[in-house]
Amino acid sequence: MMQTSTIALPQNQIVVVEDDDDSRRALMNVLQDEGYRVAAFSSGEAALDYLRSTSPAPELIVLDLMMPGMKGWNFRDVQKHDPDLATIPVVSISALGKLVDVDVALQKPVDYDELMKAVERYVARRGEPDQTARR
């Protein structure tokens, strides 16, 4: 009997929600330079629309707390109550304070080494096989 092995590669997608253009671009560049795919949005509403329409779900959300319109904590409240989105880990970034109901909270200006430590806790690295290989 012939055995075949299928190894799924991780999706490596991170969603960045940051209203400041320069900060959003810097976060995208750092994450992309590390080999992650990034979808970035300037508002919580746009990010939620994307999250609800994409499959499979991204592996992590990097979320600014202070944004015009939908604030980060409002985004998080909506996310937590949507069963399709509730399990996506969130790293919050803020200059003003911490959101306690997230997986990791980082202070602005963001220390990129700390950001990468947080990302690596939740997102599989590119090219590393998923632990669930089929035989």
pTM exceeds 0.85 for this model: no
Task: Calculate mean pLDDT across residues 60-78.
Answer: 93
Can you give the pLDDT at residue 100? 63
Q: What percent of the chain has pLDDT over 70?
A: 79
User: How far from each other are the two terminal CA atoms of the chain, in whole angstroms?
Assistant: 12
Query: DSSP states of 40-72 as a string?
Result: EESSHHHHHHHHHH-SSPPSEEEEES--SSS-H
CA distances 75 to 46, 61, 64, 69, 119, Å, are: 11, 11, 10, 10, 19
Q: What angle do CA 12, 24, 20 make, to 5 degrees?
A: 155
Q: Where are the domains positioned within the chain?
A: 13-122
Q: Is pLDDT at 113 greater than 90 in this prediction?
A: yes
Categorize the per-residue pLDDT at 102 as very low, low, confident or very high, splitting at 50, 70 and 90: confident
Helix, strand, coil percentages for the chain (3-state, nearest 5): 30, 20, 50
| Lowest-confidence segment of 22-26, 40-44, 69-73, 122-126 by average pLDDT | 122-126
> Which fold does the domain 13-122 belong to in CATH?
Rossmann fold (3.40.50)
Q: Is pLDDT at 111 greater than 60 in this prediction?
A: yes
